[in-house]
Chain A
Amino acid sequence: MEAQATSAFPTRRTTIPFGPQHPVLPEPLQLRLVLEDERVVEALPAIGYCHRGLEKIAEKKDFLQDVYLVERICGICSFMHSLNYCLGIEELMKIEVPTRASYLRVIWAELHRMHSHLLFLGLIADAFGFENLFMQFWRVRERILEVMEKTAGARIMLSVCSVGGVRRDIDDGQKAEILRVVDQVERDLESLLPTMFDDYTVGQRLRGVGVLPADKAHELGAVGPTARGSGIAMDHRLSIGYAAYGELGGVTPVTEATGDCYGRIIVRARELHQSADLIRKAVQRLPGGVVSVPVKGNPDGEVIARMEQPRGELIFYIKGNGTRNLERFRVRTPTFANIAPLLHMLPGCQLADVPVIILSIDPCISCTER
């Protein structure tokens, strides 16, 4: 009644639950949205729908078994998790990995980045209602999954990374197949990406939506394409140079200054070409030699391992106590870091834009809740 006295059209606040089950969300996440008419004024996250306590389980397993457990933190960037874990344990145990294994790790890691980004581009196209684009990106993604199966024996859960190197090698025929597929994928992208970059309706759904300025992105701890889409040049492949990235060089962070959904998507699309270049370089320069070294002893001490996963900075804290079991294993995934920036993107947007904004950070709830 009081509101009616001050305005002919009073604005009422409504709180609606967005998720945990929603057509655009592949995984359960809830945002409690406070709305004024159709405009979002506040968003509160609610997670915990698929918390697995994986950090605790890791303490109960042998540290070598944990490679396969850690790989299951995420069903998309699984190889990245096993790689980061192995890098951490190897640093802790002072294991020198053969150069050939480091190059093979880069090849599989970048193939994983490509399939993850293609999956994302399809999902975001589906979120803004362009189903044909969704199908085309996923069709291209199949090529990457097939070449991973041909080289590692599995499409997603490769299980090729191990402490001390990798469990499989590739021959000349497989090298040629990787190069052929990467070339084919880039040719496919030539016909697809202009639609994503230049189409009027795509631009209308993405440009100026969910803006995250660079200073806010830094203050709120944004990582990966979410940070790079706001103009922050941060990419640990360049800054740390783990595995063979330091030797391969040429990793210049892909950035966009707009800070909106469009910028975050364009960063990922351009990173596909960067990954293709890295794979070509790694295949062409792949040195000879063994692909793993034996592991002796148990990890003792503590270490931080971090790397650039498709969604951003991945951090593991690993503490060993000289036994086969780890004292503590802690995971900070990129989606976890991007929740606070997401809460800044949503206020002020229209309810219809919420799905696109959420998907623009490429959320992985499985990673987040681990």
Chain B
Amino acid sequence: MKEKPELEKEKKTKPRVKMREQDPLKRIRNFEEVPYGYTPDEAADEASRCLQCKRPTCRNGCPVEVDIPSFIKLIKEGKFIEAAWKVKEKNALPAVCGRICPQEIQCESLCILGKKGEPVAIGNLERFVADYEAEKGGIQIPEKPRPTGRKVAIVGSGPGGLTCAADLIRSGHQVTLFEALHKPGGVLIYGIPEFRLPKVIVEREVEYIKKLGVELVLDAIIGKLYTVDELLNDKGYDACFICIGAGLPIFLGIPGENLNGIYSANEFLTRANLMKAYLFPEYDTPIKRGERVAVFGGGNVAMDAARVALRLGAEKVYLIYRRSEAEMPARKAEIHHAHEEGVEFLLLTNPTRFIDDGKGNVCKVECVRMELGEPDESGRRRPSPIKGSEFQIGIDVAITALGTMANPLLTKTMPDLKLNKRGYIIAEEATGMTSKPGVFAGGDIVTGSATVISAMGAGRRAAKAVNEYLKWRY
């Protein structure tokens, strides 16, 4: 009786097992992944920190309710493959989520250990089991279910679309996934860089859903090649799930923004990741390798753009953000990595105009200092410019990462689909049901830019609802 609290205390004070990482000075010259991953011993060691709470609070922090204590227990017992399966009961893409979920505001934020010390490294453990399974396990293909004879079209192959496709095919429907680009994966392929999420992981997941029997149609821009009505009425689909992300870039709206050398983060990252411009000229797509680069924004997208610019050989990368570091929406790990790699943060600073070199190229940006006032609707303190504090920085590449809006390309062709005033699709949260019968929606096109795991959650809920809908209808 007396010993137990002692033991608990020891566990609480034990620090988290750090994941080994590539040296910052070395990694800023390559595109290889930054953290190396746990070894089995390290994973077991970290897993042993978990208290196996009876009422695990961590689970409430996970949008898809991964059974965290159970999978960690399996790791502790050395049953790594079983642990991976346990995670997969709720989360189809653990190798992705383990790497890029904002754990510090989700699962790990509610881990009981976080109250006194560091929370269990749930994300790292999730990544470990997923990688272990991929390497050792020989991924299992479940048995083909009895065909229902129903066809479902999914538009967009980002995390939401992939999850929904995997779930629906397991229910026995015929599933077709339409993707506008020449590669599937959505932001996971075109946006998030290789050093944060190796593309082989995404390719592996796509291979998996193809093996399950999902038909993948690339280069298929829905709204142009087919409309949703054509899919439903002429092509014989019984239902449709729209998960097209929020892909329209926002620009700053300041003078000089169309000068050469000024990119949207979408363009910069698409060139670098999807088109592999960092390997130019082996790959045909070019990208400007700036010497002095300014990135505007404070989210994951801004961090990714800044770190890609460094890896393309920039001498100086400025990250310009109008609030302070505490308000940055990026994952803590990415901010930390950006600091380590030498990105210079110019906080409480906002650009006012771009200046050209007389030949149409950007050569300077003028900025103004900001101060924080009263909190706004979002609860963050509103920044306002300080008069007369303008200053200029010499740059040759600028990247705006201010977030994205809904792309109207598809929704424009669906007049009977209700949108909110910002152009996002209105869909019921629990089911993804839209105003149009048989049409479901989820992910960033409903919520605005959010997270991979929330898009996956929406895909999963929509799959359930589509199942119900098909049962009800036939």
Our verdict on whether A and B bind, yes or no, reads: no
A-binding residues in B (CB < 8 A): none
